[in-house]
Amino acid sequence: MQKCLMSLWAVAFGLVVVGGWAMADDKDKPKHSIKDVMKTAMKGGLCKKVGDGSASDAEKKELLALFESLGKNKPPKGEEKSWKEKSEALVNAAKAAVDGKADAADQLKKAANCGACHKDHKAS
Ligand code: HEC
């Protein structure tokens, strides 16, 4: 009985903490799910737009924010190390675009390798 109450409290406390984090916009909690990032950045063409140089500064920053969320998510399969490497490469490429680096498009093309990442980390 005592134990049961304790775990109830633990759950309630957990909810408060998680809720607080969400409100405080905690850095370690992903703002966007992997699917959201895929829809907007990959399938939606934002990544391509930044890659071919037709994106606005705001769009480049949006892409960077999306890719930063990516690495904070847990992929449905695959090793965490590989996931971190792949998502970091995307973050670095988007950063290069925000900073106006000349090789940003090349970095982006390499990092946004749909098939390679899906093979390792997408469930089906
Ligand atoms: C860094 C790794 C990575 C890269 C690069 C990547 N994807 Fe994905 N993608 C994923 C993962 C992981 C999932 C599975 C998400 C899930 O099931 O939660 C996914 C899922 C998807 C989905 C399905 C989304 C849904 O709602 O189920 C689409 C569409 C997609 N990716 C398109 C693309 C395209 C197009 C590219 C290349 C331009 C790309 N992705 C590049 C990791 C990646």
Distance 77 CA to ligand 1 centre (A): 12
Tell me, using a 6 A CB cutoff, whether residue 38 lines ligand 1.
Answer: yes
pLDDT surpassing 60 at residue 15: yes
Nearest Cα residue to 78 out of 116, 40, 32:
116
**Residue corresponding to tokens 């899906």:** 118
Mutate to test the pocket of ligand 1, among 50, 52, 110, 122 (most ligand atoms within 8 A of CB): 122
pLDDT at 111 over 80: yes
Question: Per-residue pLDDT for 13 more than 70?
Answer: no
Instruction: Determine the average pLDDT of the residues in 15-27.
Output: 59
Average pLDDT over residues 103-114: 97
Q: What are 64-84's pLDDT values in tens digits?
A: 999 999 999 999 999 999 999
